[in-house]
Structure 1
Amino acid sequence: MRKINQKILLVAIVISVLALGLLWIYFNQSRETLKKRAEAMKLSEVKVAILYGVVIDKMRSIDDINTILKELRADLLFLGYFRWRGMATVERQTDVYGLLKKYIQQIKEENPNLIFVGGLAAQELNRIEYDPYHKRMIPEEEVWQMALNPQKYGFNMTGIEFHKNYWRVPEDENYIFPDILNPKFQDLILSFAKAQIDAGVDALWLDGLFWQAEVFYRLAGGREHKAIGEALKAAEKIVLKIKEYAESKGRKIWIGSDAQIDLPYRMPKLDFVTVSPSVAEIREKRLDEDRWTRMISKIKEKYGEIPIFALIEWSYPAAPFARDIPLGVFSQQLNKEEQRELIRSLDEFFKEKGIIFIYPVHGGFIGRDAVKLAFSKYYKYDALAPEFQTYEQIKELVKK
């Protein structure tokens, strides 16, 4: 009996050792896989970037999206998800981040080295908000507690006066401008970021991260003011908190925003910045060489040697009409051939300047008064839509 027990004990020990060995191999391989993936994804090595906003809008199947990514040999997908106006309602009613996670996983299966960039608006909140990380609805009175009141910082403008001044059209009144210095808002924007990180995004673009500092600079009459520096420090704190959360999950996250070069202050450290041709440059189909030379020089001075991405921008709250936004002018005032020609010239110009052009494949608001709509019904740009037909031109350019 004693010998039998010894044999059983020996077998149990052997099985335990084998099990531990298999677990070690599994987790070690997982770490190696993650390490190789991290090494493979470097912003500085991106050659082809495309705008595809957003992947869960149901305009195409995930298989069709993957086909586009492969055809265009995309290294980076910009704004695969973008949290902005109206998304609070959608996120309350549907499992947005569960679907986003599924889509990102399917995209990564076919394009393992792709950098998936999500985004969120840092300069406005819905009147009734939703915290997607804690899955909590935030009533209007609580949102108003996070609203910006310039008078609090020594400016001659109350919170209500400020909102009335910046609401441009009736629809704007459904949204509230938050105070980036408010701790509750900082926690909320971190929740927005956490939800996307948990869904699998590799990078985040924070739209309007420096908007409040810009507002304060204008209210100060273009002079230095303590509140401007405080707003920039708050922006920096948000960036660091997002990175800390990603690291706590064993992830690395790149964070970028639109390049702010006019404020006479030290800017928060970013991993990348975005720039855009102006409305006039799009309309005239010609970039101002001197302006871009100065801009690039200022970006390097403010942010260091980081990747610069250029896209044909749009704006939701501040520019309701097509004539006021670059993508609106591009899609509405240029015909198909002019759009193709401009894409070619922009690509050549940006390559010469060391800037990565984000090709306009899908997404981006084209103006509330737009007449040429993608597939006759969508107020967003689409390179494959019969109204625009620029996809084949983009395919030719990526082959180079």
Structure 2
Amino acid sequence: MEELGALLGAESDFLLVQKPLDPSFRDYAAALGLTPPTELIPENCPEGAGTAAAVLSSPQLLARLRELAENGAYLMPMGTSAEEQKIAEETGLRLASARSDIAEKVNSKIYSRRITDELGLRTIAGRCCENAGELADALTWGLADSPAVIVKEAYGVSGRGLIVIDSPKKADRLLRMVQRRAGQSGSDRIDVVVERFLEKKADLNYQFVIGRDGSVYFDFVKEALTENGVHKGHLMPAGLTPPQSTEIEQAAYALGTRLYADGFFGVVGVDAILGADDLVYPVLEINARLNMSSYQGHAIDMLAPNGGTVLAKHYPLQLDRPLTFEDIRAVLGPYDGLDENTTGVVINCFGTVNAQAQVSPAGFDGRLYTLLFAPDKERLLQLDTAATARLACLSTKEGAAR
């Protein structure tokens, strides 16, 4: 998925990737006016290593990064962990965001909840739990006045580390598991948030940037499409009323000022909810890193500067052979690219289609990441229906939906 960065950076930038971009995808992006950055490939890629680890084990690439650092380049990772920070330290590249220890602190759901309360922003009823006793109390409290509670690990992402508890029996089962682990480890320390279930109209995601001087720049708010807590895409515009949009922006500025006070600067993505009561709950969690929305922004601004509607979505593919980029374009046919009405399908990540081909050549799952553009929501949904039907024809693995 690091290929998503190809449409975020400019032609004058550099993109650290383990494998080069598909030449056809690169030419396609350039034809759209989105010429990708120059690719930098580690010469050593140990089995199972991530890109940061591969960079650190590649002396030639590290030397090239030192040259770029001397010319003033910054390192902008998706998120700053200890490995990305080590790359910066070994090469002299300046980090485009805060240190890894500060990023880790801000990424905690417990941190999110505490500063949301501190700022007086509207919150979903919930509690922070840092030991087994606090969890037991929170489950009893939550189920006393709600059909269910959501238990979230402080550092869980993309739906992982999230459990729905809708009965005392399930609560007891979770507590026994926590107590068993405490007995094995000798510590009952946990880091979770417990929230009462809230009926919602929509999930939201918004982004802002904190400058090194503490200035806060609001970027956008989108409707986040999720399924069982797992991200599926984004819809733009979010369909909020002017007061609701204003509330989101005000929350962004308040959060940005508070995060800066704790030493954070850089890109921030925040998950929020529009409740069934039409109230905005502006902070579910703070993500002190780039997110899926971040990778869509530049392409959308360039391709649809006059507005319209956009759907960011990935299409699952079940395959028994790798596909070429031209295979996909041929199937999309008349929907490939944008017409004179700024309507059509733009591919923004191809590398994920064949990513598992070598792992399981007899049959593997792929994902095609796209941006769908149309003048209004009705035509956008019609385009999605048409694209779904056409792309389904690419699925070749036995048992795939036709």
Q: TM-score, normalised by structure 1?
A: 0.30
Bigger Rg, structure 1 or 2: 1
Q: Structure 1 or 2: larger strand share?
A: 2
The normalised TM-score by structure 2 is 0.30
